Structure 1
Amino acid sequence: MSTFTSKTSISKPINEVYSFLADFNNHQQLMPDTIQEWVSDADEASFSIPNMAKLLLKIDSRTTDEEIVIVPAAKAPFDLKLKWSLSFNNNHTDVLFTIDAELSMMLRMLASGPLQKLADHETQSLNTILS
């Protein structure tokens, strides 16, 4: 299992950050411009990554003001789990975004850089949107 993480701190109450992340419709704003064909509702999103794959993801679990877990809703090119973990400290919300991916050696060489960039892009976008 390969794990990619990115952290940020947002000067907002934890319930505001959680409410934004708990609705999959908001996640399009966190994605890079290269993501295409985005379709979502509160619980699921489908989109395509040019020259790679089309993904259908769903929110698997929500723990109010703590965690949101996202998994594939249909067969993905590899096993994948995305997790947003939240904690509130001294008037700001700490956010940890984790991507766990079951990558073969070949995929690890090809996908590690883009997956880390995706994790970093999503936390930076979240910080920009909510700050």
Structure 2
Amino acid sequence: MTTFTSTISINKPVNEVFNYLADFNNHRQLMPDSIQEWVSSVDDASFSIPNMAKLSLKIDSRVTDEQVVIIPAAKPPFDLKLKWSLSFNNDHTDVVFTIDAELNMMLKMLASGPLQKLADHETQSLKTILS
């Protein structure tokens, strides 16, 4: 597994951050503008990445005020898991977004940069939206 991580702090209570992330409908706002054909519900989403793939994801588990785990709902081009981990410290919430991807050597060379950019983009978008 190759892991991509992005960490931020948001000046909001942990329950507010968790409630936002626990609804997949909100995740469209976290995605880059290049994402197309977004369709979502509270529990799942599908979308396409131009010149790459169409993905279907679902929320696998929610641990209130601690974690949201997202996995593929249909067979992706490579195995992956996305995880939002939350912890509340005094007056802010620390957020860690992790993408675990099973990449062969060729995919690792091609996808590592875009996947790290995606992780960073999603956390920065979350911070902007909730600040």
Same fold (TM over 0.5): yes
Aligned counterpart, 1:122:
122
CA drift of 1:90 comes to: 1.7
How many residue pairs are counted as aligned between the two chains? 131
Partners of 1:80 and 1:42 in 2: CA distance: 20
Q: Please, which runs of 5 or more residues in structure 1 have no aligned partner? A: none
Q: Please, which runs of 5 or more residues in structure 2 have no aligned partner? A: none
Deviations 1:86-121 (A, max 9, x none): 000020000000000000000000000000000000
Aligned counterpart, 2:113:
113
**TM-score calculated relative to the size of structure 1:** 1.00
CA root-mean-square deviation: 0.2
Q: Percent identity?
A: 82
Deviations 1:24-64 (A, max 9, x none): 00000000000000000000000000000000000000000
Partners of 1:7 and 1:49 in 2: CA distance: 24
What SS class does the counterpart of residue 75 from structure 2 fall into?
A: coil
Aligned counterpart, 2:74:
74
**TM-score calculated relative to the size of structure 2:** 1.00
Aligned counterpart, 1:85:
85
Partners of 2:22 and 2:108 in 1: CA distance: 29
